Structure 1
Amino acid sequence: MHTLRITHKTAYHYHTPVKFGPHRALLRPRSSHEHWIRSSSIQIEPAADVRWLLDIEGNSVAVLTFAEPAAMLSLLMEVEVEIRDDNRIECLIDPNARLYPFQYAADEQVALVPYRLPSYPLDGPALHRWLSELYQPGQAIDTFELLNRLNSRIFETLTYTERYNAGVQLPHETLALGSGSCRDYAVLMMEAVRYWGFGARFVSGYVRMEEGQHGSTHAWTEVYLPGAGWRGFDPTNNKLAGIEHIPIAVARQQEHAMPLSGTWDGPGDAFDWMEVSVQVVSLD
């Protein structure tokens, strides 16, 4: 068991003061069996009324309401997270789900309907062609091995690129370009396993880094496995999501897990630039 301190700053700079509409911030990590939030604080400029709520996924959302115009919007979130031992996924999958294809139980099928529906149905043909090299219908294959193969295939055949513009590439765009960001990789894997019938969701969060090293938020995919529950796969790093992966938000679609979203009113060219800095350090 050890403790991490996460410092996350996001700032938007404008040429002239603008009026901010309501904003939603997803910056506070989710609590789980592996991660326990010891303390958290948020600093906001300009001053804002802050109201916390849990959304439909159980994400902790800060709803921000601003009274005064400003030429900068800045959020600084500091969190201390206690990290506990991980579980071994190999020992947890139900026997009837260890080989793919399998059927979810009736209650799981009902709950997983939104997570099995493709977000990009028009990308089905491109996914079919790409996935046919990994799996052919009618095969019986170890479920965990199949998911690991997909995780590795994304890592080994695509080139990672940092992208700072908003949104994600469509899965067929990532395949055609042969490259993408962690968000693009996560969306591709999410849509691919949905094509196979798995329940899957997008995850945004932090990853533990070397002492003093800065980085950015990260993204990966969670797949629902009977007996194991939601389990994370990180195709950007070709590994399972473990205790070093600290989720902030989960969502059926990427746009519902954005760290900060909202509106502003001002001249069309008022926006100047943005800055994001993340630091994850051990306190032990």
Structure 2
Amino acid sequence: MRMSIRHVTSYRYDSPVQYSIQQLRLVPVSTPSQVVVDWDFSAPGKLDASIDAYGNTVRTLVLMRPTTEISFAVRGEVDTTPLRDGRLLEGPGRIPLEHFTCATRLTEPDDAIRALASRFDGLDTPARLLDLAAAIGERMAYQPGITEVGSTAAQALALGQGVCQDYAHLLIACCRTLGLPARYVSGYIDAGDVSQAASHAWADVWLGDSGWVSVDALHARFASEHYCRIAVGRDYDAAAPVRGMRVGGGGESMAVDVSVGGRCDQ
């Protein structure tokens, strides 16, 4: 499938920002399961390129002039490959699998998470992983505006509501409780017949002979050709599309406009 993606993020401030630095993980990389056809990145200043520890492409924007608005945009096309049972066409990767078994602040399990995970002791197949995603869906309802980017998996489960980030963190927390390596994925989804679209988050879980299995916990399905991967990490903090700091500016408002479309090759 060829996915066409456009993503514009704009910040406006009540007073001039004197200094700003933004780390942007908004550039996909070509992998065995996706090929970047073209990708353009526009920003109000020079972008320094680097690769982080997880292999994600990072663009760093530094502004040292007063401004009341910062806007950047990406657009491009990516060819994606259908996956069998969500199995990625790649090996363990550059980082030891044990790194992805360690809890983080956002994925630290509590008693409720341990109880949920215990129902899936011995999980070792992609089908069983989907069962876990479905069980998470039975405990949580999709509801924007209830949680924040800093909300933990335990908090989301206690609330019984959240967004794709929360579903991904909860799946990761359960898998790590079971001793399975799991990593957070940020990217885009071509919605198709589901209701939540565009910017998205899901998870990869290492299942031994099956390798990395990519699962969208929100929709309880395997992530396949309708998904474009942008960044991975142990949790949202390591794979966030935008992270930064500023000096000045006062109050801040943010607007995000994302559109994703896909077409199958004939």
Distance 1:183 1:168, change over 3 A: farther
User: Please, which of 201, 205, 214 is the counterpart of residue 223 of structure 1?
Assistant: 205
Match of residue 239 from structure 1: 221
Match of residue 66 from structure 1: 63
- CA drift at 1:22: 2.1
Distance 1:161 1:214, change over 3 A: closer
Work out the CA distance in 2 between the residues paired with 1:257 and 1:122: 17
Work out the CA distance in 2 between the residues paired with 1:33 and 1:158: 33
* Secondary structure of 1:155 counterpart: helix
Match of residue 252 from structure 2: 272
Q: State percent identity of aligned pairs.
A: 28
- In structure 2, stretches of 5+ residues that fail to align are none
2:110 is the counterpart of 1:111: no
2:171 is the counterpart of 1:189: yes
Tell me how many residue pairs correspond in the alignment: 259
Match of residue 33 from structure 1: 32
User: Please, which of 243, 246, 254 is the counterpart of residue 236 of structure 2?
Assistant: 254
**For the aligned residues, what is the CA RMSD?**
2.8
Tell me which amino acid in the other structure corresponds to 1:89: D
Match of residue 17 from structure 2: 18
Match of residue 4 from structure 1: 3
Work out the CA distance in 1 between the residues paired with 2:147 and 2:247: 20
- CA drift at 1:215: 4.5
Deviations, residues 58-93 of structure 1 (Å, cap 9, x unaligned): 111101122322101101101111223x2313899x
Work out the CA distance in 2 between the residues paired with 1:238 and 1:154: 9
Work out the CA distance in 1 between the residues paired with 2:51 and 2:185: 16
- CA drift at 1:31: 1.7
Tell me which amino acid in the other structure corresponds to 1:272: E
Q: TM-score, normalised by structure 2?
A: 0.87
Deviations, residues 10-44 of structure 1 (Å, cap 9, x unaligned): 11111121123321101112322221111111111
Distance 1:271 1:214, change over 3 A: farther
Distance 1:78 1:197, change over 3 A: same
User: Please, which of 84, 89, 96 is the counterpart of residue 88 of structure 1?
Assistant: 84
- CA drift at 1:214: 9.5
Match of residue 52 from structure 2: 55
Distance 1:91 1:182, change over 3 A: closer
Distance 1:125 1:141, change over 3 A: closer
Match of residue 73 from structure 2: 76
* Secondary structure of 1:198 counterpart: coil
